[in-house]
Amino acid sequence: MAKILVVDDSDFMRVRCRQLLVGEGYDVVEAGNGQEAIDRYKESSPDLVMMDITMPVMDGITAVREIKKVDPKAKIIMCSALGQQATVLEAVKAGASDFVVKPFQADRVVAAIQKVLC
């Protein structure tokens, strides 16, 4: 069973995300900001990271770069709001595999995860 690290500063978003992913049969690890994400990544080496962009302490883009330094093969999906096109593009250049747009549509999230994991 694939393990997914969910990074978001909003407790609510993490809970929603966890519900969705657990319902799809994934294991979920959580982190509340970019710095925590790097620590969690090292500890639990997840198969995939769902990364929010705007977060305190360390933002999503920086976290993508840092995680890629730790593990160049890391698979990361950005969780973006509408209108963050430039930022998402930057994240993809930094090594993110894909993105999904909030509010989440379950089908799309699942499709993106399946695509990236295979």
Partner 1 sequence: MDNLNISKEDLKLFLEELDEQIEVMEEGFLTLEREGADPEVVSATFRAAHTVKGSSAAIGHQRMTALTHAMENVMDKIRQGELGTSSEVMNPLLKGLDLLRPFKQTLATNSDTDVDISQALQELRDVAERKPQDSASGPKSSGPMDVSESFMQRIHYAQEEGLVALEINVTLAPESIMPSVRAYQVYQAVASIGEILASDPTLNEIEDENVGTELKFWIITASGREAIRSAVAEVTDVTGVSVSPVKVPKDKEEADRAKPGGAAPSDEDTKSGAAAAIENRTVRVDVTVLDSLMNLIGELVIDRTRLGQLSAELSELAGVEDLASEVGRISNHLARITGFLQEEILKARMLPIEKLFKKFPRMVRDLSMKFNKPINFEVNGKDTELDRAVIEMLSDPLMHLLRNAIDHGLESPDERRAAGKTEEGNLTLSAYHSYNQIVVEVSDDGRGIDPQRVIESAVRKGVITPDRAKEITDREAIMLIFSPGFSTAEKVSEVSGRGVGLDVVRKNIDALGGRVDVESDLGRGTTFRIFLPLTLATVRALMVRAGGQTFAIPLNSVVETLRVDKRLIKSMRRQQVVTVRDMVVPIYRLESSIGLTRRRRSWNDTTAGENDHIYAVIVNGDGKTFGLVVDSLVGEQEIVIKSLGRLIGDVRGLAGATILGDGSLALILDIRGLTGAGWSKDTVAEVAG
Residues at the site binding partner 1, with contacts judged by CB under 8 A:
23-25, 80, 82, 84-86, 88-89, 92-93, 98-99, 101, 107-108, 110-112, 115
Which parts of the chain are beta strand (E)?
3-7, 27-31, 48-52, 76-80, 98-101
Closer CB to partner 1, residue 69 or residue 93? 93
Cβ distance 8 to 15 under 8 Å? Answer: no
Q: How far is the CB of 108 from partner 1 (least distance, A)?
A: 8
Q: 2-32 burial string, b = 16+ CB within 10 Å, else e?
A: eebbbbbbeeebbebbbebbeeeebebbbbb
Residue among 20 and 31 whose Cβ is closer to partner 1: 20
The nearest distance, CB 98 to partner 1, in angstroms, is: 6
| Rounded least distance, CB 39 to partner 1, Å | 28
Kindly state the smallest distance separating residue 59's Cβ from partner 1, in Å: 17
Sign for the CA dihedral angle at 97, 100, 106, 107 comes to negative
Instruction: Specify the residue, 58 or 100, whose C-beta has the smaller distance to partner 1.
Output: 100
Nearer to partner 1, 38 or 91 (CB): 91
